[in-house]
Amino acid sequence: MVHPRVYEALSQPVVGHLDPYFFEIMSEIEESLKVIYGTTKGITMVISGTGSAGMEAAVANFLESGRKFAVLANGYFCDRISEMGRRQGAQVVRFEKPWGATFEDQEAADFIRREKPNLVAYVHAETSTGALQRGEAICAAAHDVGALVVADCVTSLGGMPVNADLTGIDIAYSCTQKGLSCPPGLSPMFLSPRAVDWLNQRTASPRSWYLDLKLIRDYTTASHRYHHTAPISMFYALHEALAVILEEGPENRWNRHLRCHQAFVDGVEAMGLALHVPQGHRIRTLNTVRVPAGIDDAKVRARLLAQAGIEISGGFGPLSGKVFRVGVMGPLATEANVEFLLLEFRKALVAEGYRS
């Protein structure tokens, strides 16, 4: 759900993409993102494009042809970043686990130390499965072998701590339409000092001109030399969304999402339903509920939308027809909204033949 203040910000008069006011807004966004990403050492920036643009920017700028790219693969978006690495000409090596499983510290570290890659990628919060992956051991092992680490924070940023500095992440990207409560269209990114140094020392230009982070950084913070026509209204939206988060207080926001996640889990378990991801490894903003035997998930979702105006998603890939994916984040993450969701979810399930 988009916050009402963000809708209001979208309606403000548009200035030019080289206007000083736009660069003032951009500077304030970057400072706010440092708080949300959990960094005092790195830099933040915003890509004009969705979360997938942030993903591709991470790959295109920090991989070169022939370099080794290690991916901890346990869901759809690990597959996507692997494919981007292949298209860059990298040597992609993968540690595979079933969708929804997570990697133990030691096994992840052993894989990285064995492969000795140049770049490592993992998904902090896997949108396709609801699984949360700790990154401290991954980052420590990667740094031991001289590698940089990319973290996909698409479903975590804005709804739970990322702690980029403490975790040791070097490159992170996210989107605006999930935990930040904006429409889609921008990808906030984080770069550690280690990543900035590597980028500044890179001699060959990335294959992607549009996603060249050095060119974008020069446009937004240094020379302000024209690079692309930025979507001004979307930057207004992100600016206001971050103001809303900081006014609430990041810790208060993380705790609100955790309370609502737990209320949702308690409610579905009381119905006799199970979650796909074990306790302790779940994303607090996105829940994957297993579809009961004999129930058509598409019919439940269609009924929920038609009768209550509530839209939830189904699984895809190996989880197609096996899970409901239910986001509880942003303005939706309140006790009253969770109670309403659970009530209507039960009605839709019962109407399709579920008996707990």
Give the tens place of pLDDT for each residue, 89-146.
999 999 999 999 999 999 999 999 999 999 999 999 999 999 999 999 999 999 999 9
Q: In what order do the strands lie in the sheet with 286-290?
A: 286-290, 323-327, 313-314
Give how many domains the chain has, as a whole number. Answer: 2
**Judgement on whether residues 257 and 218 belong to the same structural domain of the protein:** no
Q: Look up residue 121 and give its amino acid.
A: A
User: 31 is written with which tokens?
Assistant: 């400072």
Domain membership flag for residue 222: yes
Report the C-alpha gap between 76 and 317 in whole angstroms.
7
Collapse the DSSP code of 85 into the 3-class scheme (helix H, G, I; strand E, B; otherwise coil) and give the result. helix
Query: Which residue is it, tokens 């609430």?
Result: 248
Whole-angstrom Cα distance, residue 190 to residue 188? 7
Q: Is residue 324, in this structure, part of any structural domain at all?
A: yes
Residue 356 is assigned to a structural domain of this protein: no
**Same domain (yes/no): 233, 269:** no
Together in a domain, 198 and 85? yes
Domain that holds residue 175: 4-247
Q: Which of 156, 153, 119, 155 is nearest to 139 (CA)?
A: 119
Looking at 247, 278, 298, the residue that finishes a domain is 247
CATH number of the domain at 170, please. Answer: 3.40.640.10
Residues 179, 260: Cα–Cα separation, whole Å: 14
pTM of this structure: 0.96
Q: For residue range 1-32, what is the model confidence (pLDDT) as tens digits?
A: 999 999 999 999 999 999 999 999 999 999 99
Answer with the one of 198, 217, 247 that is the final residue of a domain.
247
Tell me the backbone φ, ψ of residue 56, rounded to 5 degrees: -70, -35
Angle (CA) 31-199-21 rounded to 5° is 35
Q: Residue 302: exposed, middle, or buried by beta-carbon count in 10 A (0-12, 13-18, 19+)?
A: middle
Same domain (yes/no): 157, 297: no
| Per-residue model confidence as pLDDT tens digits over 224-275 | 999 999 999 999 999 999 999 999 999 999 999 999 999 999 999 999 999 9
280 and 243 housed in the same domain: no
Q: Which residues contact 262 (CB under 8 A, 6 or more apart)?
A: none
The DSSP H or E segment spanning 200 is helix 193-201
Q: Are residues 197 and 287 in the same domain?
A: no
Residue 95 included in any domain: yes
The reply to whether 216 and 290 lie within a common domain is no
Cα end-to-end span (Å), the chain: 30
Same domain, 93 and 145: yes
Strands 68-73 and 286-290: unpaired
Residues 67, 162 share a domain: yes
Tell me, yes or no, whether 148 lies in a domain. yes
Q: Domain for residue 294, yes or no? A: yes
Residue 215 DSSP class: H
Residue 160 and residue 62 in one domain: yes
- At 356, the pLDDT band (50, 70, 90 cuts) reads confident
How many angstroms from the chain centroid is the CA of residue 353? 35
Distance CA(146)–CA(136), nearest Å, equals 15
pLDDT tens string 56-66:
999 999 999 99
- Does any domain span residue 87? yes
Same domain, 216 and 289: no
Residue where a domain stops, chosen among 247, 282, 304: 247
92 belongs to a structural domain: yes
Q: What is the pLDDT of residues 315-352, one digit of tens each?
A: 999 999 999 999 999 999 999 999 999 999 999 999 99
- For residue 132, the 8-state DSSP code is E
| pLDDT of 287 above 90 | yes
Domain with residue 302: its CATH number is: 3.90.1150.10
In a shared domain, residues 216 and 287? no
Provide the β-strand partners of residue 123.
152
